A and B are shown apart, each in its own frame.
Chain A
Amino acid sequence: MSETLAKTEQIVKKAKKLGADEVIAKTTFGRYRQTRFSNNQIDISVAWNNYVTDVALTWKKRFVATQIQNFQNVDQSVKRLYQLAKVSKENPQWGGVAKGKFRYQKSKADKAVENIRNPAEYVFEAIEAAQKEAGQKDVNTGGILFSKLEDVYLASSEGPAGKDQRSAVELSIRAFSDREASGHGVECSSTLKGFDPTMAGRKAGQIAKQAKRPKAGIEGRYDIIFDPLFTGSLLGMWGFMVSAYSVMLQMSVFVNKLGQKVASDQVTLRDVPASYSMANRVFDDEGVPARENVVIRKGILETYLHNTSTAKIFKTETTGNAGLVTPGAWNLELDAGNMTKEEMLSEVKRGLYLTNTWYTRFQNYATGDFSTIPRDGIFLIENGEIKQSWKDIRLSDNALKMLNNIRGISKERQHIHWWSEADPPSLSPYVLMKDVQITRPK
């Protein structure tokens, strides 16, 4: 057993000795690196190291939590936490944490992401690719190169114990071919093997070139082709709503809809904490092996995402998605369809190809009414061909209706993550959707 896991288990033992009922301690040694760039130059490079143990305990169904930094003041912190539990208030719905011993898959994390020898090279490769693709040297780019390596040690008084290593690397680049014309590309992975920053640069440059001289968009209902980057944002929105916690708070269009049709037949949505993903992991925050869950199968809502406690409330089993308080998706995958992007285009008489979005906000999570603002390339499609670049529009529609209006899904999929707008990570295809409401400022 590693020294760190032993220290983590010691915390659990100390809390148990004081009288706690259930104790979970999770130690994370995280090394995070980021290079930020804009105007084709590096603005700053950042390294942050974090050594922290998250400790949660229950006493007579009172749930309390704390953090211990770098194993400092362990006795004092655990004692203080236990005292807090004693004066806290019972949660009669508390369903406990996972019990038993589990076997975990071996992590396939890539240690090389911790110390990328020259991050600037990755950044400049992406910039050059964007400029080359756009066919102009004065393309203005900005973005980030991010990497993380986390060593995670988990110990639970209820049995689970294990070690995980989680790695991720992301290059996100936005390219402007002129003031109003831009494209965005991302390259995301858990490993440096095969990681190609130029892929992101080329995509950003290609869209930026096509987006030149945009005209003000026109309100109306359109068939839409969503680029994988935009699909990633939509999956994040639907993924948030399948958390059992969101359902309990009515921050979801899926309340009381288990077993019902919530999407078009073409939609199969999974949560898969796979080794390729930036969100790779072998166990959740209770130590339950993280696993694949089919959330929506051929349009039918099969499950919410649970931890042990929410699962008990819903009279089911955990899906391995703890968060101790809030279960959530790790890595969403929309199953591939049978279309190519070109076939999708040929299906559209008058519609739009939207490449990215941001600032998604809801009027009402329960009804699903929301709007979001497409950015970067916005293209008018007429009779299967891209005819014009647009700007200044807003997608104003309904989250549930949109799921049902999906008419086509591409074979091609891309691993997507950017900022907080396409989060959690996903495996996202192009999506063809019918009859989407577009508005614009007046």
Chain B
Amino acid sequence: MDKDIADFALEYAESKKVEYAEVRAHSEENEQLVMKNGILDAYASMVDSGFCVRVLAKGGLGFASTNKWTKEEAKAIVDMACKYASMAKRKDKIKFAEEKSVKKSWKVEEKKKIQNVPAETRIETLTALDKELTSQGINVPSRILQLGMNLAEKYFVNTEGSVISSYVPRIAAFNFITVVENGKPEQAYRQFGYAGGWEALDQWKMNQQMIKEAKVLQRVIKEAKAVNPGKMDLICGPEVAGIAAHESCGHPMEADRILGREMSQAGRSFIYPGSHFWLKTKIGSPAVTIVDDPTIKNSYGYYEYDDEGIKAKRRYLYKKGIINEFLHNRETAAKMKTRSNGSSRAINYDREAIVRMANTFVEPGNMTEEELLEDVKTGVYMRSFTEWNIDDKRFNQRYVGREAYWIEKGQIQHPVARPVIETTTQIFWTAVDAVSKKVEYDAATCGKGDPAQGVPVYTGGPSIRLRGVYVK
């Protein structure tokens, strides 16, 4: 990364008398290992380095990027961004919420430096995982294991005087397995993610997780029974609570979506000006508080300053069942006459930063899992999910259980085959009457934007109990 070129680009943009300009430079080292059915298919190692300029001029936004580090190229992309900004000819001019400038350098520490881990060790990690999984006496004919490392150095400067440097190492893993028993296949995938060093591998215990998953799938094939459709209690484990928090709280609370900026791709929100649902209105029971927090140390979605240079902080999205705070960048904050809460993220230098989640989860309550269970006469305990989706208003959603059990008189009984909850955001969160103490997180890649930008996030929560919902 050549910071002088980035500074030059900013100076050149300032000379064009624009209302605002920023330059964001990334230099990223990436590694990706792909092991298919025990065979190392590919080992890719690359460096990606470039910078972008975003300009606000005449009330319009222009953006241009390049991976060519020359002054000529810097001038060319600034000129392009300025031309594009002027082209917008908007009736309502874009403004950014006022923010203080920041001079800061921050980084995430690695207890075990990723760069010090030899390639052989990285390969051996996947080989050992595959061997251990396939030596359990379970038929797992299809397996894909991936391991990825991303060491991201960023440099951000803007015309308001902000200068922010950062370094975030991230490590991620993914597995997708197919278990076959009596000719019937069941499938599961799992993602792991961490901001920090190679110590992530010690914490994840991927071998135990994968073996457990394979055993669960085997048992589902052998023993699971269909559920009799009807209204019943449903306990959702942390993985299911987490995906519901992400899909039906985090996404509809993105202010750019609320204002319509994503209308033709990821869609709009059931929350909008003039809607029944707005700030300070009820969306769930008082047991439901959902937060988005980029500041959880070593989380997959961790950052200290967002990609507009705004300090990250915990955001209370739904608070005790009430719609409380949207996710904002500077543009949406100005439109809603508030301040940015540091939610602007870009996946690389060649992408515009847009409003994103970081780590979205249900806040813990005060019950144990046993206490959640003991009060259920009949119902389903959905520990994990397979198929899921939600409409583009973020209201009509569906989660299909992967590991799920029948509950009777407070006791867990046999596995249940792919139970389905298909309901609305309001019904789901209003039905929650109790929340357990222990929060667990899952790594995920959140998709949004055009071109698509998959950003690292955590989803999570404790177990939550829903009363009288329709399960089929």
Contacts and interface: CB of A to CB of B under 8 A. Distances in A.
B418 A363 contact: yes
A7 to B, nearest CB: 14
Contacts, number: 239
A392 interface: yes
Nearest to B127: A89
B64 interface: yes
A335 interface: no
A179 B395 CA distance: 14
Contact of B396 (A62, A84, A249, A373): A373
Interface residues on B, range: 35 or more
Contacts of B52: 48
A45 B352 CA distance: 10
Interface in A6-49: 34-36, 38-39, 41-49
B62 A89 contact: no
A42 B89 contact: yes
B66 A48 contact: yes
A55 to B, nearest CB: 9
A69 B51 CA distance: 13
B84 A91 contact: no
A360 B185 CA distance: 20
B243 to A, nearest CB: 11
B389 A70 contact: no
Contacts of A325: 34, 41-42
Interface in B69-123: 69, 73, 77, 80-81, 84-85, 87-92, 94, 118-120, 123
Contacts of A392: 391, 395-396
B387 A92 contact: no
B470 interface: yes
Interface string A75-101: 001001100100111111100000000
Contact of B261 (A43, A77, A361, A369): A43
Given A46-B64, A364-B186, A64 B42 contact: yes
A373 B394 CA distance: 11
Contacts of B80: 47
A420 B264 CA distance: 12
Interface in B160-192: 176, 178, 185-187
Given A39-B260, A144-B264, A325-B42, A48 B47 contact: no
Nearest to A121: B87
Interface in B25-63: 34, 36-37, 39-50, 52, 60-63
Interface in A241-278: 248-251
A410 B261 CA distance: 35
Contacts of B418: 363, 369
Interface residues of A, number: 81
Interface in B111-152: 118-120, 123, 127, 141-142, 144
Contact of A84 (B119, B260, B389, B450): B119
A167 to B, nearest CB: 17
B233 interface: no
B424 interface: yes
A44 B44 contact: no
Contacts of A67: 46-48
B267 interface: yes
A120 interface: yes
A67 B84 CA distance: 30
Contacts of B408: none
Given A372-B389, A441-B397, A176 B123 contact: no
A169 to B, nearest CB: 15
Nearest to B274: A179
A201 to B, nearest CB: 12
A64 B41 contact: no
B226 interface: no
Nearest to B65: A48
A140 to B, nearest CB: 7
A67 to B, nearest CB: 4
Given A47-B64, A394-B398, A441-B396, A373 B91 contact: no
B265 interface: yes
A63 interface: yes
Interface in A59-76: 62-67, 69-70
Interface string A150-194: 000000000000000000000011101001000010000000000
B84 A45 contact: yes
A2 interface: no
Nearest to A90: B40
A104 interface: no
A340 interface: no
B262 interface: yes
A419 B265 contact: yes
Given A45-B84, A67-B48, A38 B36 contact: no
Interface in A206-260: 248-251
B424 A364 contact: no
Given A119-B87, A173-B264, A81 B45 contact: yes
* 6 nearest A-B pairs in the assembled complex, by CB-CB distance: A45-B84, A142-B263, A174-B264, A359-B389, A44-B61, A442-B470
Interface of B: 34, 36-37, 39-50, 52, 60-69, 73, 77, 80-81, 84-85, 87-92, 94, 118-120, 123, 127, 141-142, 144, 176, 178, 185-187, 259-265, 267, 272, 350, 352, 386-392, 395-398, 400, 418, 422-424, 427, 447, 450-452, 470
Given A90-B40, A442-B422, 19 more contacts: A39-B259, A39-B260, A44-B60, A49-B67, A51-B66, A65-B45, A66-B44, A88-B40, A88-B43, A89-B40, A91-B41, A184-B264, A358-B267, A362-B387, A364-B186, A371-B389, A373-B390, A394-B396, A420-B452
21 contacts: A34-B450, A38-B261, A38-B262, A38-B263, A42-B60, A45-B60, A49-B77, A81-B45, A84-B45, A89-B127, A119-B87, A140-B260, A179-B272, A248-B37, A251-B176, A324-B42, A363-B400, A364-B187, A392-B395, A420-B452, A441-B422
Interface of A: 34-36, 38-39, 41-52, 62-67, 69-70, 77, 80-81, 84, 87-93, 118-120, 140-144, 172-174, 176, 179, 184, 248-251, 324-325, 358-367, 369-373, 375, 392, 394, 396, 419-420, 439-442
